[in-house]
Structure 1
Amino acid sequence: MAQIVLSGESWNSFAGIMSCVYYDSKTRKVYSMNAGYRSPLAKDQPLTISERGGETVLIQGFMAGVDTLHLHSKFGNLPYKEIYKPALLFSEKGFRGYPLLQHLMKRK
C-alpha cells in the first residue's frame, strides 16, 4: 500500500478504486475483481444524482476490495498488521515527497 504513494507519482486514494487480477498457480485459475466506486444504494440511475450535496460523494471501493470482498482472506497469507506496517511507518515518520508533490503541498 505504501508503494502507491511513494512510487506512483500519480493521484491515488485509498478511498478510491481497486482492480486486481490474480493467478492461482495451484489451480491454474485467474480471478479478476473490480472494487470501483459505488453510487448510493437507492440510486439505480447515476444520472439522477444531484450535482451538489451528500449524494455526490462516492462510496469507497479500495478497502471494500481488500476486506469486504475477501481478497485478503482468500489469497493473502500475512496478517493485516504486517500488511499495513509500511504504510503506518510512513504516516508516522513521513517521507520525502517527489518534486510535484512538494510543489502542490506548498501551494495549499
Structure 2
Amino acid sequence: MGTKRRSFFINLAPSNKLKIKKMDVIDENGNTVPNQESKRVLAGVLGIILGAFGVHKFVLGYTKEGVIMLLITILTCGMGAFISSIIGLIEGIMYLTKSDQEFVETYQVNHKGWF
C-alpha cells in the first residue's frame, strides 16, 4: 500500500489557542479523498434495514456488488434474501463500528467491496 498524507490548515486565534480548521485525507496518488462521515452512517443504517437489496452498496458507489445482492434477492423469489440480509446486517454493523478514518481508508481509498 502507498503512503497516505494528511494536509491541514492551522488558524491561530487571537486567544493564542491552536485550532485546526480543516483536515483532508490524501491518497497515494495525491488526490484528496472527501470526508465520508455521512455516507458511513447512511450506508450502515441502510445495510441493516435494506441489506437484502444491496442499497448500502449503491450508496458507497459499489454498483457491481449492489447489483449482485439485488439479483440474488430477486432471482430467487426472495428465498436468497435471507443470505443477502445477513450480509447487509454484518456490513452495516461493520460500517457503524469503524472510525471515520478507518471507513474512508477501507471503503473509499482502498475500495474494499465485501466485508
Q: TM-score range by the shorter chain?
A: under 0.3
For normalisation by structure 2, the TM-score amounts to 0.25
TM-score (norm 1): 0.26
